[in-house]
Each structure stands twice: as structure tokens, then as C-alpha cells.
């Protein structure tokens, strides 16, 4: 693309930006620099009345030249960027006079015939005779504005003196456009606060949720100097009854739960207290999971959840374990490890599942204790926790536990957990079970049902380790084991196809 085409493209971009996005200073500077560089070494002459052979005719620069009745523009080599910017501003505007500078010559369209005489009617008097005109003649160069001021898309804001351009470190606070945005934002915040106060008085909890959500969304956009005070004043408008009402709305309307979660997390510790009281009162499973997820995204809630792990109420302890699992904080490992020996079986299972979800901390010791617990259900819960911790990196603990497990249901759960891990070591352990049969001379092997369970667990791996092990069993397995492995491979092939 030559210098002329480059200039037309970049200068046209500058005119378009000045017309549709006047506040985008960075993009305007880039377009102006590129246009100035294109005319640095060669002069350029543009004509609006003929077709441009280098670029399409529908480019914005030619459209603006035709709109401003410009016939020809000649720009000398080495034109100053200020001159180009003044020309671009004039072309972008509808009534700004077109400049003529030492390096830029602008020729407008010449009229080929004199204009038609004015129709009969009142004439415009001579201004020197001191008489006032009865009706001024319209300026036909200006388009008729049929919309009222309040209906226009761009409101005619007042002009600030001294800060016409945003510059320096204080551009976001003193820029003309920024001041208008801040003023409009303050008016919007005031409307939302009034709506929140009205909704709280009338117990219209859904409207209160929408108003609080609007305030929460505006918080990151408030200038930093007033952001903290905005949060304090907005949270004052959310007393405990309003928070309880928002929770009630979230309980009955699933579509509003994401909005309620965002508001509750923004409120902070006051919302934590309301959420925990809601858990203690008892509720449906769906709302309990919602409360867990909300509190799991609030690290500041840990200091209020931690006492729940020491409570004498088993249900409260289970709630605390589920919440700290979602928080994922390393300091909760000690409290959860102590719960592995809790007398309540459901508490032990909740603690083990929470330890399995803490992927960033060492939890091998409490999980090993869970695999050795006298309760079969606790051992099964420990096996599931091992399978979920860091993608099964503690599979060796589960492999040793499978060899020593004597409860049938627990053994089945551990084998399925090994299959879901899908690592090379887990698949090798399952292959050993499938190939080690029990006979008259070897009583330490596995029954046919256990061997088939190991083959079925390999189908849960869903990766290359599981497929390779199944191929090995189909080739080396005897009887029903080889047949079952072959059927599993066929099913895997159908899923892949």
C-alpha cells in the first residue's frame, strides 16, 4: 500500500474517531501519527469528485469530503501534525470552518450557476440601518435538528476551561469527559440508594436485590478516592432484614441466585452471619449448596466458620467442613484432621471429603488414617477423597488399602476409585487383580466377580492408560476376563467413533 492509500486510510480513521468516539485519545494519536508519517516525504492531493483507484469509494474520508462540499485537498510534504488534526476536526464536524494553512490547501465545490432568487416574502434588512429583522433567513448549510435537547443521543454538556485534554497522572480525575462520567455516576448511585431504601421499607425484596446488585456493579468504577465511602454507605442500606429477604428471594427463584451471590459476597461479613444463621435453621439441599458456594468465595468468612468445626452439633460441624473445603485454606488442615476420629460417622466422612478437596496442602497422613479406620463407610469415604486429591497423586495409599480390604462394598468402592484415577500405577494394580484368579492351589487370589469389577473399573479411566491395560487383558486374560476386556474395548471404540 503506497503513501497515498496509507494516508487516506489512517486520516480517514482519524476523522471517524473524532466524529463517533471523540474521547478515545489513544486511538486518535495513533491514527494521527500514521497519517503524518505518510506525508512526511511526499505531497498528497485528494479529489472527492473522481473515483479513487487505490481504495474503495465508500471510505469515510471521501464521504466526509462530499458532506462538507470539499472538492480538493492538497497536503504538502512534511505537513505538521497539528495542521492535520485541525483539518480532521473540521471534516468530522458539520459546521466547523475548514482551515487553510501553509501546508494544507482546501478547495470547496464551485457553484456553476447563481442561486435561485428567494421566494416572495419578508426580506432580511441591512444590519447597518439599525432595524431588527422580522424573520431571519435560515442557514441552509446547517441541517435541521428535529429532536429536542433531551432526545439527542449526545447531550450538549458544558465546556470546562483549562482541562480541555486529559493529560498527566490526574487525567482520570480532571479530564473533561471523566468529570461528566463521574457526575452521571453519582446521580445513578443516588437513584439506586433511593430505590434500595424504598424496597427495604416496603419489603419488596426482589427490587432490593436489583438495586443492591446495581450498587455492587458500580463499585469498581467509582473513583478510588471515594470508593471506600461508597461501599460503606451502600452497605448501611442493607440491614439484616434486607439480607434475610435477599436470601429468601434466592431460595425461591433459581434465576436470581447468581445475582444474590454477587451481592452477598460484596456485602462481606454481615452477609456471612446471615448465611450461617440460615444454615443453622435448616433448609433444602439446593439452598444449602448455594450457601456453601457463596461462602466458599469469601476468604474473610473463615474466621467465622472455624468455630463451627469445634461445635458439639454434628450437623453444624458438617456444614463447617463443607465450607472450608470450598475455601481451600491450608490452615484448616489441622482442624479437619482432628475430625477424622470424630465419633459421628457423617462428620468423619465430611472431614475426609474436605481433605480430598484441599489440593494445595499435604493431607496424606489423615487420609491414610481414614483408610485404616474400623468403620467400613469411613474407609470408603477416605478412598473417594484419595481419588479426588490432585488427580489421584496418592493412588499408592489406595492400592495398599485395596489389598487389605475385606468388606465387599468398601472394596468395590475403592476399586472404582482406582479406575477413576486412571494413572499408570492404578491401572497396573487393577490389571493385577483381574489376572490373579483364585483356585484350588491358590486361595489368596480374587473371585470372578472381583476380577470383573476390576475390568469394569478400567473402563472408568477414559484415557490411554485404561485402553492399553484393557488391550493387555483382552490378549492375556483367561475366560471371562478376556471376554469382558474385549467387550469394554468395543464399547470404548463406539464412544470414540
Got the DSSP string for 134-152?
SSPPP-TTSPP--S-GGGS
Query: Per-residue pLDDT for 10 more than 60?
Result: yes
The pLDDT of residue 102 is 84
Task: Name the nearest CA neighbour of 225 among 269, 276, 282, 178.
Answer: 178
Residue 283: pLDDT band (50, 70, 90) is low
Measured over the CA atoms of residue 476, residue 480, residue 481 and residue 487, the dihedral's sign is positive
Quick check: 114 pLDDT over 80? Answer: no
Check pLDDT > 70 for residue 90. Answer: yes
Confidence grade of residue 133 (pLDDT, cut at 50, 70, 90): very low
d(CA 463, CA 426): 12
279, exposed or middle or buried, with CB in 10 Å at 0-12, 13-18, 19+?
Answer: buried
Q: Which residue has the higher pLDDT, 164 or 422?
A: 422
What is the pLDDT at residue 374?
A: 95
Give the residue with greater pLDDT, 54 vs 185. 185
Helix (H, G, I), strand (E, B) or coil at 110: coil
pLDDT band at 137 (very low <50, low <70, confident <90, very high): very low
pLDDT band per the 50, 70, 90 thresholds, residue 25:
confident
What whole-number distance in Å separates Cα of residue 232 and Cα of residue 189? 13
Lowest mean pLDDT, pick from 64-68, 169-173, 303-307, 319-323: 169-173
* C-beta atoms surrounding 314 within 10 Å: 15
> What whole-number distance in Å separates Cα of residue 489 and Cα of residue 66?
72
Share above pLDDT 90 across residues of the chain, in percent, rounded to a whole number: 47
pLDDT tens per residue, range 392-401: 889 999 999 9
Dihedral-angle region of residue 122 (phi above 0 means left; psi in -120 to 50 means alpha; beta otherwise): beta
Task: Report whether pLDDT(53) > 80.
Answer: no
Question: Do the Cβ atoms of 496 and 455 come closer than 8 Å?
Answer: no
Cell 470414540 locates to 496
Question: What pLDDT shows up at residue 457?
Answer: 93
Q: 240 and 274 in contact (C-beta within 8 Å)?
A: yes
The answer to whether the beta carbons of residues 258 and 266 sit under 8 Å apart is no
Stretch 70-90: mean pLDDT, rounded?
A: 86
Strands (E) across 259-399 are located at none
Is a pLDDT exceeding 50 seen at residue 208? yes
**pLDDT value for 350:** 96
Instruction: Report the alpha-carbon distance of residue 341 to residue 446 in Å, rounded.
Output: 31
Q: Give the pLDDT band of residue 59 (cuts 50, 70, 90).
A: low
Report the pLDDT averaged over residues 17-35.
83
Q: What percent of the chain has pLDDT over 70?
A: 81
pLDDT class for 105, splitting at 50, 70, 90? confident
pLDDT category at 224 given cuts 50, 70, 90 is: confident
**379-389: average pLDDT:** 94
pLDDT digits over 151-204, tens only?
555 555 544 444 444 445 555 444 445 677 888 889 999 999 999 999 999 999
- Please tell me whether residue 102 adopts helix, strand or coil conformation: coil
Question: What pLDDT, on a 0 to 100 scale, did the predictor assign at position 116?
Answer: 56
pLDDT, position 16: 86
Cβ neighbours of 434 (radius 10 Å): 28
Domains of the chain: which residue ranges? 3-108, 422-497
| pLDDT tops 60 at residue 300 | yes
What pLDDT score does 326 carry? 93
Encode burial over 448-478: b for 16+ CB neighbours within 10 A, e otherwise: eebbbbbbbbbbbbeeebbbebbebbbeebe
Mean pLDDT confidence for 439-455: 79
Strand residues in 394-473 grouped as ranges (E): none
Does the pLDDT at position 142 exceed 60? no
| Mean pLDDT (the chain, rounded) | 83
Amino acid at each position: 500500500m503506497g503513501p497515498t492509500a496509507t494516508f487516506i486510510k489512517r486520516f480517514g480513521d482519524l476523522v471517524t474517531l473524532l466524529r463517533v468516539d471523540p474521547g478515545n485519545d489513544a486511538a486518535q494519536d495513533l491514527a494521527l501519527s500514521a497519517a503524518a508519517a505518510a506525508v512526511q516525504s511526499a505531497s498528497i492531493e485528494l479529489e472527492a469528485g473522481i473515483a479513487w483507484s487505490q481504495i474503495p469509494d465508500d471510505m469515510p474520508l471521501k464521504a466526509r469530503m462530499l458532506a462538507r462540499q470539499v472538492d480538493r485537498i492538497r497536503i504538502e510534504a512534511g505537513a505538521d501534525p497539528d495542521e492535520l488534526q485541525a483539518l480532521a476536526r473540521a471534516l468530522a464536524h458539520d459546521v466547523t470552518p475548514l482551515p487553510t494553512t501553509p501546508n494544507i490547501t482546501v478547495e470547496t465545490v464551485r457553484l456553476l450557476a447563481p442561486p435561485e432568487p428567494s421566494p416572495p416574502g419578508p426580506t432580511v434588512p441591512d444590519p447597518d440601518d439599525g432595524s431588527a429583522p422580522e424573520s431571519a433567513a435560515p442557514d441552509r448549510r446547517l441541517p435541521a435538528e428535529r429532536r429536542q435537547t433531551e432526545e439527542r443521543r449526545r447531550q450538549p454538556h458544558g465546556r470546562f476551561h483549562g482541562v480541555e485534554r486529559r493529560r498527566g497522572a490526574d487525567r482520570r480525575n480532571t479530564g473533561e469527559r471523566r468529570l461528566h462520567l463521574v457526575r452521571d455516576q453519582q446521580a445513578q448511585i443516588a437513584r439506586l440508594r433511593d430505590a434500595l431504601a424504598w424496597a427495604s421499607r416496603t419489603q419488596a425484596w426482589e427490587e432490593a436485590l436489583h438495586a443492591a446488585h446495581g450498587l455492587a456493579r458500580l463499585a469498581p468504577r467509582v473513583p478510588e478516592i471515594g470508593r471506600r465511602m461508597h461501599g460503606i454507605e451502600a452497605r448501611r442500606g442493607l440491614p439484616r432484614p434486607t439480607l434475610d429477604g435477599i436470601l429468601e428471594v434466592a431460595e425461591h427463584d433459581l434465576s436470581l441466585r447468581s445475582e444474590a451471590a454477587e451481592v452477598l459476597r460484596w456485602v462481606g461479613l454481615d452477609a456471612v452471619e446471615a448465611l450461617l444463621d440460615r444454615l443453622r435453621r435448616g433448609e433444602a439441599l439446593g439452598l444449602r449448596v448455594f450457601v456453601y458456594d457463596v461462602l466458599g468465595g469469601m476468604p474473610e468468612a473463615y474466621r467465622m466458620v472455624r468455630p463451627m468445626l469445634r461445635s458439639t452439633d454434628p450437623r453444624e460441624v458438617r456444614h463447617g467442613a463443607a465450607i472450608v473445603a470450598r475455601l481451600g485454606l491450608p490452615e484448616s488442615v489441622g482442624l479437619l484432621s482432628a475430625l477424622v476420629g470424630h465419633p459421628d460417622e457423617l462428620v468423619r466422612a465430611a472431614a475426609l471429603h474436605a481433605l480430598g478437596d484441599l489440593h494445595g496442602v499435604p493431607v496424606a497422613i489423615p487420609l491414610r488414617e481414614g483408610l485404616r479406620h474400623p468403620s467400613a463407610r469411613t474407609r470408603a469415604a477416605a478412598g473417594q477423597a484419595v481419588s479426588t486429591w490432585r488427580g489421584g497423586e496418592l493412588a499408592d495409599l489406595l492400592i495398599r488399602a485395596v489389598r487389605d480390604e475385606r468388606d465387599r462394598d468398601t472394596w468395590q468402592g475403592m476399586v472404582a476409585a482406582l479406575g477413576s484415577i486412571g494413572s499408570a500405577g492404578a491401572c497396573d494394580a487393577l490389571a493385577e487383580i483381574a489376572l490373579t484368579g483364585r483356585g484350588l492351589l491358590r486361595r489368596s487370589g480374587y473371585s470372578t466377580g472381583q476380577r470383573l469389577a476390576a475390568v469394569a473399573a478400567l473402563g472408568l479411566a477414559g484415557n490411554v492408560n485404561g485402553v492399553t491395560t484393557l488391550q493387555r487383558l483382552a490378549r492375556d486374560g483367561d475366560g471371562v476376563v478376556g471376554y469382558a476386556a474385549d467387550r469394554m474395548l468395543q464399547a470404548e471404540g463406539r464412544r470414540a467413533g
